[in-house]
Amino acid sequence: MDLRKRRSQEKLQLALAHHLQNKTIDEITIGELTKTAGVSRQTFYSNFDSKQSILLNRIQMVFEKAWTKTEALIQSTEVGREEFVEVSVRNLLEECDRDRVLMRAAFTGQAGIQCLSLLKTLVSKLISERILFQFNHNFTTQQLDTIADFYAGGIIGSIQGWLLDEPLTKDISSVARQIGRVIPHGLDGYVKKTA
């Protein structure tokens, strides 16, 4: 992607975040977004097909940044299961927190199902590519998919609850720690049952 296109997309994302502080996504017009971003209507449509697609694009970027940090952590063999989950979730929550206004809008609006799907893909990848392989157990593909989907649902629920919490009552570290404890211990029980 060329630099000009990337800048236009970022301007539109920032404009949307600005307007979402006072309005819902349905109340914001394309004209307001382009005016605030300082771009033409043609530029908007050459980058996005809807306001929701701005959200999805931004969320994909947020998740990719979180996954890049997680990949660096994957290379470390000295990180325990709980710590790995906790640090990975904290990375994700910190990235979400930087774009909290957009993330809240994404998970509550028309783009919500697609955002949840993107989050499920990321969390399933996290679980299947690292967490499960820390167990001395040969999971079948079907078991892996089932376990990843189950825990992805739990993590998604925790993240969504944290994003929509108003006023904010839980900090990032406590949510990450909670998830970090639940998943490995639940999987320990699963492995013992199936062994």
pLDDT score, position 19: 92
DSSP assignment of 26-62: TT--HHHHHHHHT--HHHHHHH-SSHHHHHHHHHHHH
Q: At residue 34, what is the residue type?
A: T
pLDDT score, position 131: 62
Q: 3-47 sits in which CATH class?
A: mainly alpha
pLDDT score, position 114: 78
For the chain, 195 residues long, the average pLDDT of each consecutive 10-residue run is 88 92 89 96 94 87 86 72 80 88 77 76 73 66 78 78 82 85 64 59
pLDDT score, position 13: 92
Q: At residue 80, what is the residue type?
A: G
pLDDT score, position 181: 75
pLDDT score, position 66: 87
Secondary structure class of 137 (helix, strand, coil)? coil
Q: 52-194 sits in which CATH class?
A: mainly alpha
pLDDT score, position 16: 92
Cβ proximity of 44 and 12 under 8 Å: yes
Is the model's pTM score more than 0.85? Answer: no
Tokens 């790995």 belong to residue: 84
Cβ proximity of 161 and 104 under 8 Å: no
pLDDT score, position 56: 85
**Where along the chain do the CATH 1.10.357.10 domains lie?**
52-194
**Where along the chain do the CATH 1.10.10 domains lie?**
3-47
pLDDT score, position 175: 87
pLDDT score, position 37: 96
pLDDT score, position 36: 96
